[in-house]
Structure 1
Amino acid sequence: MILGTIPFALGATAQTSSNSVYISGLYVGAPHQTVNQEYVKITNKGTTAMNLKGWKIKDKNAKHTYSFPSSYTLKSKSTVTLYTGKGANSATKLYWGRSSYVWNNEGDTAYLYNAQGKLVSTRNG
């Protein structure tokens, strides 16, 4: 993929701990796109499913926080896409439920915190 073709597509940098769940992509959107064109991808590279009860996604400066549903489990070797807008949650798609944007088009950072409040992954987009 050529990163220059889509503004800030999937981010340029990522940091992860040894944890098996991490932010694998961040698309901050572009002017005149809908809120559901912004998204964060969270991947479980581990061999066991992970219940994400108590886990959170935050943006730079923690202006917006998404809390994963208590019943949501991310299967092993799977990715879920968290869209900013509204929709019906499924195993591979989650919706923040917002009518306004979260991610700054000129660039932003997503932070993933586990249930203990420990930062486990970041991604720039």
Structure 2
Amino acid sequence: MTAALALVAGFPVAASAGTTSCLPGGTTRCRVWTGTVVRVTDGDTLYVDVAGDGTATPRSIRLIDAQAMELSVHSAVRAKRRGDCHALAATARLEQLIRAGGGIVRLTAQDPEAQSLGRPLRAVQVRIGGVWRDAGLDLVRRGLALWQPWAGEWAWNATYRTASQQAAAEGLNLFDTDACGPGPDQPAQLSVDVDWQQELLHVTNGSPTAVAVGGWWVRDSGLRRFTFPARTVIPPGGTITVHVLGTGRTTATDMFWGLSAPIFDNPTGDEQAHGDGGYLFDPQGDLRAWMIYPSS
């Protein structure tokens, strides 16, 4: 039950060329910069030499509203990269988009001081065939990144959420439940339900047989995760509830993440279109069940 991740003020802002639509064809206005991409770090981060900032030093830019899976080994050589399932594919797609745009990008943000871990938060657009295309939206629509809303940077929420739900409905990439390899318990009928008011995540087994979920893990759109202990089993028709906040006595039906602050964003029906998601991954990195809310 959080209002979304906080943004940190006081970040030195590069010279801005003015304003433009936050999303190509959109109506909400954003500050805009241009720059040249020096390298792609992973599926949601890249280094950009921002024009007009008074320095030739590239800045690490974090994509707004797109959360790719993580690389553990970063390299300019694709064959040397290692990481979570889908991390390499997301990185390669972002590189492909940057190359198609000639390495020139347009960066937009509602708040020029928005940042994540010291990196400016920006939507990244590439010009392909004379048309500006949103790179983060491309990744989310292809199911190569999760939708991750940010407080203060809401202009993308409705579009990205719909794109993520479309990717899920079509079983693309992250939403292909055996993309990383079949099993375990591949036929299992699992579902996730998020109670954002109480900060609870329910995992239900709708199968006629028990499912062993030891080593499986759940998360929201952020990187934090809760891993189920070894020998955890959900019986047929059973549900395990993960309590995000605080601690308690672990039982066969209730487990405690132990966090001190809420993680699930409250949905809103206004133009800011806040929401979030709950996700269940198996040990191979396959996303096996999810809930992206609110529904579009």
Give the TM-score, by structure 1 length: 0.72
Q: Which deviates more, 81-90 or 99-108?
A: 99-108
Structure with higher Rg: it is 2
Distance 1:122 1:63 in 2: 15
Q: Does 2:275 align with 1:115? A: no
Q: Does 2:210 align with 1:64? A: no
CA drift of 1:67 comes to 0.6
Equivalent residue for 1:54, pick from 203, 211, 215: 215
Distance 2:265 2:259 in 1: 15
Counting matched residue pairs gives 104
- Deviation string 1:3-39 (CA, Å, 9 cap, x unpaired) is xxxxxxxxxx89686532221x21112xxxxxxx210
Aligned positions of 1:36-115 closer than 5 A: 37-60=198-221, 62-85=222-245, 86-106=247-267, 107-115=275-283
Equivalent residue for 1:22, pick from 191, 209, 231: 191
Q: Per residue, is there more helix in 1 or in 2?
A: 2
Q: Do the aligned partners of 1:110 and 1:124 also contact (CA within 8 Å) in 2? A: yes
Structure 2 residue aligned with 1:10: none
Distance 1:28 1:118 in 2: 24
- Deviation string 1:28-76 (CA, Å, 9 cap, x unpaired) is 12xxxxxxx210111011121111112111111x332111111211111
Distance 1:67 1:51 in 2: 13
Q: Which runs of 5+ in 2 are unaligned?
A: 1-164, 170-174, 178-186, 268-274
Give the TM-score, by structure 2 length: 0.33
CA drift of 1:115 comes to 1.9
Q: Do the aligned partners of 1:64 and 1:102 also contact (CA within 8 Å) in 2? A: no
Distance 2:244 2:218 in 1: 11
Q: Which runs of 4+ in 1 moved over 2 A?
A: 13-19
SS where residue 208 of structure 2 aligns?
coil
| Percent identity of equivalent pairs | 27
Distance 1:21 1:121 in 2: 6
Letter in 1 for 2:262: Y
Distance 1:112 1:50 in 2: 13
Letter in 2 for 1:102: I
Distance 1:72 1:52 in 2: 5
Q: Do the aligned partners of 1:45 and 1:76 also contact (CA within 8 Å) in 2? A: yes
Higher relative contact order (CA 8 A, sep 6+): 1
Q: Do the aligned partners of 1:110 and 1:123 also contact (CA within 8 Å) in 2? A: yes
Structure 2 residue aligned with 1:4: none
Q: Do the aligned partners of 2:204 and 2:238 also contact (CA within 8 Å) in 1? A: yes
